[in-house]
A and B are shown apart, each in its own frame.
Chain A
């Protein structure tokens, strides 16, 4: 199975609600990144959190990292229709030179 796996696979919410997506991974990491992909387009970097950090904020985004549970969560507050996209976590393995492994993603639909 994959190094990073997002949960749930799909999420549908109303505008204004909060959306929470989770990512679990298997081996130790140096850092974890979250990316967004609008349908059929390139990925856009959202936030990077290092293994010695527990929480980071960027605008309406809040990312937490629990290395003891090998999991991360992405919270989008006050969601908007424009947040509709797929969200991926990307993890490395804690060996220099290893490149990112992307999970299968969470498809978020924000309904107006």
Chain B
């Protein structure tokens, strides 16, 4: 158990809909990272937040947005969903802001299926 929790575990929705994925980092970790894992794209970094502020952006679509709250939990919002958004979405956390120098602890993921 990494100490990172994600809800929900599974999500089935229809195209055009909007969903929110939630992540609670390990106690004491200030950075949260979001990743998308699909069969064709592999594991793609989406975005990082550090202590409530956006720190780095990866391959995140404009239809997607995220935020980190004062209690450090984070939410990833996916809107106007398309079939291709079906994937595993992982949240990870680390102690500081320098993700490249730190171990990231991954949550169990949310499996999203868009029908």
Give me the interface of A with B, judged by CB distance under 8 Å.
2, 30-31, 33, 35, 40-45, 48, 88, 92, 96-105
A-side binding surface: helix, strand, loop or mixed?
loop
**Contact mask for chain B residues 91-111; partner A; CB cutoff 8 A; 1 contact, 0 none:** 010000011110111111101
**Contact mask for chain B residues 47-82; partner A; CB cutoff 8 A; 1 contact, 0 none:** 010000001101000000000000000000000000
B42 to chain A, nearest CB (A): 5
Total A-B contacts with CB atoms under 8 angstroms apart: 63
Q: Are B106 and A42 in contact (CB under 8 A)?
A: yes
A99 interface neighbour in B48, B103, B109, Cβ under 8 Å: B48
Give me the interface of B with A, judged by CB distance under 8 Å.
2, 4, 33, 35, 42-45, 48, 55-56, 58, 88, 90, 92, 98-101, 103-109, 111
Q: Are A42 and B2 in contact (CB under 8 A)?
A: yes
B39 to chain A, nearest CB (A): 10
